[in-house]
Amino acid sequence: MLIALMTSMALAAMDNTIVATAIPQVIRDIGGFSLFSWVFSSYLLTQTVTIPVQGRLADQWGRKPVLITGTIIFLAGSALCASSWSMVSLIAFRGLQGIGAGGVQATVNTLAGDLYKLEERGRVQGWLSSVWGISAVIGPVLGGSLAQYASWRWIFLINLPVGASAVALLARYLHENVHRTRHRIDVAGAAAIFVAAGSLIFGLVQGGVAWAWWSVPSVTVFAVAVVAAAAAVLAERRAAEPIMPPWFWRRRVLSGSALAALGLGLLVIGPTTFLPTYGQTVLGLGAIAAGAVLGTMSIGWPLASAFSARLFLRVGFRDTQLIGAAICLVAVAAFLLAPDPAPLWQPVVETFLLGGGLGLLSVASIVGPQSTVSWGERGVVTGTVMFSRYLGQSLGAAIFGAIFNAALAASLHQAPGAVTPRLPHQVGGIAAALTRPQALGAAADRYLKAAIATATSHVYAALTVVAALTIVAVLLFMPRRFDVRAGASASTGPAGGTG
> Given strand 176-178, what is the order of strands in its sheet?
176-178, 496-498, 492-493
Opening angle at CA 22, ends 21 and 27, nearest 5: 125
Q: What tens digit of pLDDT does each residue of 332-391 get?
A: 999 988 877 778 888 899 999 999 999 999 988 988 888 888 888 888 999 999 999 988
Measured distance CA(123)–CA(431) in Å, rounded: 42
Beta bridge partners of 492: 497
Residue 28: Cβ-neighbour burial (10 angstroms; 0-12, 13-18, 19+):
exposed
3-state secondary structure labels for all residues of 466-479: HHHHHHHHHHHHCC
- What confidence tens digit (pLDDT) does each residue in 31-59 have? 876 677 788 888 888 888 889 888 888 88
Nearest to 441 by CA among 422, 428, 427: 422
pLDDT on residue 414: 81
Residue 305 amino acid letter:
S
CA distance 475 to 321: 10
Instruction: Give the helix ranges, DSSP H, for 187-286.
Output: 187-206, 216-238, 246-250, 252-281
Which range (76-90, 135-149, 302-316) has the least confidence? 135-149
Asked if 430 and 408 touch (Cβ cutoff 8 Å), the reply is yes
For residue 456, give every residue at least 6 positions away whose Cβ sits within 8 Å of its Cβ, in sequence order, or none.
274, 275, 277, 278, 282, 404
> Residue 493's beta-bridge partner residues?
496
Band (pLDDT 50/70/90 cuts) for residue 419 is: low
pLDDT band for position 61 (50/70/90)?
A: confident
Residue extents of the structural domains in the chain = 1-181, 187-239, 245-487
Indicate if the pLDDT at residue 494 is higher than 60.
no
Query: What is the average per-residue pLDDT within 89-101?
Result: 93
Q: Give mean pLDDT, residues 464-469.
A: 95
Task: Supply the pTM of this predicted model.
Answer: 0.84
Amino acid of residue 34? S
Residue 453 predicted with pLDDT over 50: yes
pLDDT the model gives residue 487:
43
Q: Are 48 and 102 in contact (CB under 8 A)?
A: yes
Q: Say if residues 298 and 355 touch (Cβ distance below 8 Å).
A: yes
371/201 Cα distance (integer angstroms): 30
Question: What superfamily would CATH give domain 1-181?
Answer: MFS general substrate transporter like domains (1.20.1250.20)
Q: What is the spatial distance between Cα 139 and Cα 362, in angstroms, rounded to a whole number?
A: 22
Cβ distance 27 to 33 under 8 Å?
A: yes
Q: Out of 109-123, 131-145, 361-375, which region has the weakest mean confidence (pLDDT)? A: 131-145
**Smallest Cα–Cα separation from 17: which of 47, 35, 50, 39?**
39
Q: Which H or E run contains 431? A: helix 430-434
- Domain 1-181 and domain 245-487 have a common topology: yes
What is the rounded CA–CA span in Å between residue 465 and residue 455? 16
What are the tens digits of pLDDT across the range 186-210?
788 888 988 998 888 888 878 777 7
Taking the domain 245-487, which CATH number applies? 1.20.1250.20
Q: Hey, what amino acid is at 109?
A: N
CA distance to 106, 260, 293, 325, 448, per residue, from 253 (Å): 19, 11, 35, 16, 46
